[in-house]
Amino acid sequence: RKEVEQDPGPFNVPEGATVAFNCTYSNSASQSFFWYRQDCRKEPKLLMSVYSSGNEDGRFTAQLNRASQYISLLIRDSKLSDSATYLCVVNRNNFNKFYFGSGTKLNVKP
């Protein structure tokens, strides 16, 4: 079983829509959780760290559900510029290694 699993998409949504991605992780010892954004042929860029209590940054909201071992990313009022691949990443702090999902592709259409 993969450490981190994501729906590859693509999610095709109109501008202004709300879209949500989920990501599941297999190891209950995972301690830190992140969402990264990766544009085509570019490096991943940190979007948000995911706090235990959930956190919000503008139009983006991240949630963590430890009992069910998943994290989610909600994007409100989608913009064309949100089109990208969103990577879910988990870390087991004791090992200093990061586990990446394969990414969920989002296409925001005019």
Partner 1 sequence: DGGITQSPKYLFRKEGQNVTLSCEQNLNHDAMYWYRQDPGQGLRLIYYSQIVNDFQKGDIAEGYSVSREKKESFPLTVTSAQKNPTAFYLCASSSDSSAFREQYFGPGTRLTVT
Query: Which member of 23, 34, 62, 106 binds partner 1 (CB under 8 A)?
Result: 34
Sign of the torsion angle spanned by Cα atoms 14, 19, 25, 30: positive
The C-alpha atoms of residue 104 and residue 79 are separated, in whole angstroms, by 16
Query: Which member of 9, 60, 72, 100 binds partner 1 (CB under 8 A)?
Result: 100
Assess contact for 99 and 35: CB atoms under 8 A.
no
Size of the site for partner 1 (CB under 8 A): 20
Give the binding site for partner 1 (CB under 8 A): 32, 34, 41-46, 49, 87, 89, 91, 93, 96-98, 100-103
